[in-house]
Amino acid sequence: MESAASTPNPVVRTAALCGVVAGGLCIGWVLFLYATDNNPYGPKRTLSNFFIPIVAVVSQVLLRRYYADGPGLWKSIEVGLLTTLIAAAVAAAGMYTFAQLAGPGLIEQHLAEARHLLESTKALYLKLPNGQQQYEAALLGLAQTPQAFAQDEFAKKLLLGILLSIPGGVFLRK
């Protein structure tokens, strides 16, 4: 077992390694969807949202190997949050790059599919209070540019990662 004294900044090293791996998994998932003729911008893309919280908890487990008595609460939470931040940034950069390289035709195809799905559920929206406003907000909320897809990717992954890495850090502090 290595000690924290023999490894410079184990929190940052562990978070960087795990964050890049998780972000790479997210990029790989988008590329897999594209290669298998699935919509890489569609609902199946959200399955990659679970990679980041899982890897954040794995980073907290890996951090424990550097500390004989456990990393403590703050270091454990810190490595989870930093892993989440790095992974979300890598995934967002990958999504932006993919969207730029794939071109606007794929985005237009996605928007047509998304509008068709929304139109088919419009009756359900209209049954809800303020349903028309919710339906219009859903139409306006569709990402239409590479920047919007990257921002959506970053925000969703960051939120889910933070929500699960904090309890993981509390549980894995010793």
For residue 25, is it within any domain?
A: yes
Give the separation between CA 12 and CA 81, rounded to whole angstroms: 11
Give the separation between CA 161 and CA 164, rounded to whole angstroms: 5
In the numeric block, which tokens belong to residue 124? 């359900």
* pLDDT number for residue 131: 81
- Residue 7 carries which DSSP code? S
Query: What pLDDT digit, counting tens, does each position of 5-57 carry?
Result: 556 899 999 999 999 999 999 999 999 999 999 999 988 999 999 999 999 99
* pLDDT number for residue 126: 82
CA 71 to chain centre: 25
The pLDDT > 70 percentage for the chain reads: 95
Residue 98, C-beta contacts closer than 8 angstroms, at least 6 positions apart: 27, 30, 31, 34, 40
Give the separation between CA 172 and CA 67, rounded to whole angstroms: 12
For residue 17, is it within any domain?
A: yes
For residue 1, is it within any domain?
A: no
Q: pLDDT higher for 138 or 34?
A: 34
Residue 49 structural domain: 10-103+144-171
- Residue 8 carries which DSSP code? S
Where does the chain have alpha helices with state H?
10-35, 51-63, 73-102, 104-120, 122-127, 131-140, 146-171
Query: What pLDDT digit, counting tens, does each position of 70-102 carry?
Result: 788 899 999 999 999 999 999 999 999 999 999
For residue 113, is it within any domain?
A: no
For residue 134, is it within any domain?
A: no
For residue 27, is it within any domain?
A: yes
* pLDDT number for residue 169: 80
Give the separation between CA 86 and CA 148, rounded to whole angstroms: 19
* pLDDT number for residue 6: 59
Mean pLDDT is highest, among 112-116, 123-127, 132-136, 155-159, for: 155-159
For residue 149, is it within any domain?
A: yes
Residue 62, C-beta contacts closer than 8 angstroms, at least 6 positions apart: 14, 18
* Whole-number average pLDDT of the chain: 89
The answer to whether the CB of 85 falls within 8 A of the CB of 136 is no
* pLDDT number for residue 83: 96
The answer to whether the CB of 90 falls within 8 A of the CB of 27 is yes
Q: How many distinct structural domains can be found in the chain?
A: 1
For residue 130, is it within any domain?
A: no
